[in-house]
């Protein structure tokens, strides 16, 4: 068994696609119309092409409450790994990305948290040498 897809709730699929591709650097894989929304996925250019992130439209009232509560509590909804957190942090800052936590050492990782502009906090981590 392996993970093939995970989803993230977004308040606007077009805005999310722009942010995840043009700012974060993911690549659009699927864009299939489904009534008023789309089956919209991205993949990492550096990772396995068979692991997709679904940019899921947040239209369910329960999901909206959950997403807002997690965001308001400062809890990241997901985590992405980077090779060099300092470099990625500086790159994203230049792109105007708003960080809620700057790079911080946390045991065996360095971590930072930013807003994806679509209602979510995302954590970036870099594994420390020897971990």
Residue 119 belongs to domain with CATH number? 3.10.180.10
- Domain range holding 85? 5-127
What percent of the chain is modeled with pLDDT above 90? 89
What percent of the chain is modeled with pLDDT above 70? 98
CB 123 within 8 Å of CB 106:
no
Determine the Cα–Cα distance for residues 12 and 58; give it in Å rounded to an integer: 8
pTM (predicted TM-score): 0.92
SS3 state at 93: helix
What's the confidence (pLDDT) of residue 102?
97
Give 49-92 pLDDT, tens digit per residue: 899 999 999 999 999 999 999 999 999 999 999 999 999 999 99
Which 8-state DSSP code applies to residue 16?
H
Q: Is the pLDDT of residue 101 over 70?
A: yes
What's the confidence (pLDDT) of residue 47?
85
Other beta carbons less than 10 A from residue 60's beta carbon:
12
Q: Is the pLDDT of residue 130 over 80?
A: no
Number of domains in the chain: 1
CB 77 within 8 Å of CB 121:
yes
Model confidence band, residue 131 (pLDDT cutoffs 50, 70, 90): low
Q: Is the pLDDT of residue 29 over 90?
A: yes
């Amino acid at each position: 068994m392996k993970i093939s897809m995970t989803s993230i709730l977004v308040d606007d699929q077009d805005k999310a696609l722009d942010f995840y591709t043009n700012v974060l650097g993911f690549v659009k894989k699927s864009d299939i119309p489904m009534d008023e929304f789309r089956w919209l996925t991205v993949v990492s250019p550096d990772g396995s092409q068979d692991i997709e992130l679904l940019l899921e439209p947040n239209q369910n009232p329960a999901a909206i409450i959950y997403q807002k509560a997690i965001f308001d509590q400062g809890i990241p909804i997901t985590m992405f790994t980077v090779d060099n957190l300092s470099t990625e942090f500086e790159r994203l800052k230049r792109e105007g990305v708003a960080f809620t936590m700057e790079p911080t050492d946390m045991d065996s990782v360095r971590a930072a948290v930013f807003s994806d502009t679509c209602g979510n906090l995302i954590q970036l981590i870099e594994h420390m040498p020897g971990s």
